[in-house]
Amino acid sequence: MVIITIESSKRMQLFYLEIKRMYILLSILILVGACTSSNSKEDFVQEFYNRAKQYESELPVLYNVSFTARGSKDDKPFIPRIEIALNENETITLPGISKDMIDGEIKEAPFFKNIEVYSNKMGLPDSTAYQNVKDYLIAITELTHKLESYNVQSTPRLGKFIIFTLTHEDEVIYIPDLSEVNHEYWKEFFSSGKKLGENWYYRNTKSN
């Protein structure tokens, strides 16, 4: 009986030792995974910022523009519709137009008829209205393809800045002039938020 008891005790010790080792290993894996995930997210945000800085001079075309891409097409964001804010209280929906679309495709696109409505509201000459709006929409689409951006929001109700949503909780924001912020929340955010660089901020929606 004594031999059996000693053997049982040794087995129990070995069992608990193995459990302890597994627990330590699991803890290390969880910690490494968390660090890797955090680093990956930081890298993802930094990569977008670096890419967007290259096209900073083109970004004004996205003022008062909002859209959410519907997946991708040819490895580029697919943007079927674009919301344009005419003022703080009125928006109009226009079709997403890419440079490879022919006029026949554009005329079949949802919200095509709104091009005429938009051009009238903007006071564009009839002779050049369609081409001007078409070029404007192509410029928006081409820029977002270069940025690889799938969600953009810019509205005069909040102010003259552009929010790029990268994930469900990560945003990169471009704002060249802090005096043009209209919303109290955003005024407070820009006074203390995390800066990525001149004119650029990072926002985590879970912590803000």
Q: Which residue has the higher pLDDT, 15 or 190?
A: 190
Entry field: residues in the chain = 208
Per-residue pLDDT, averaged over 154-165, amounts to 97
Q: Residue 49: name the closest of 200, 207, 158 by CA.
A: 200
Specify the 3-state DSSP secondary structure of 164: strand
* pLDDT of res. 30: 40
E-state strands within the chain? 65-68, 72-73, 76-77, 81-85, 91-95, 151-153, 162-165, 170-174, 194-197, 200-204
pLDDT at 174 over 70: yes
Please write the tens of the pLDDT for every residue from 51-110: 999 999 999 999 999 999 999 888 999 999 999 999 999 999 999 999 999 999 999 999
pLDDT at 33 over 80: no
* pLDDT of res. 92: 98
Task: For residue 159, give the DSSP letter.
Answer: B
Specify the 3-state DSSP secondary structure of 113: coil
* pLDDT of res. 206: 86
* pLDDT of res. 24: 43
* pLDDT of res. 41: 79
Count of C-beta atoms within a 10 Å radius of residue 72: 12
* pLDDT of res. 31: 39
* pLDDT of res. 4: 45
What is the share, in percent, of the chain residues with pLDDT greater than 70?
Answer: 81
Task: Please state, in angstroms and rounded to a whole number, the distance separating the CA atoms of residues 199 and 208.
Answer: 19
Whole-prediction pTM: 0.80
Per-residue pLDDT, averaged over 138-154, amounts to 97
The answer to whether 77 and 145 have CB atoms below 8 angstroms apart is: yes
The answer to whether 133 and 118 have CB atoms below 8 angstroms apart is: yes
Query: What does each C-alpha distance from 64 to 69, 96, 153 come to in angstroms?
Result: 16, 15, 8
Task: Please state, in angstroms and rounded to a whole number, the distance separating the CA atoms of residues 114 and 102.
Answer: 18
pLDDT band at residue 22 under the 50/70/90 scheme: low
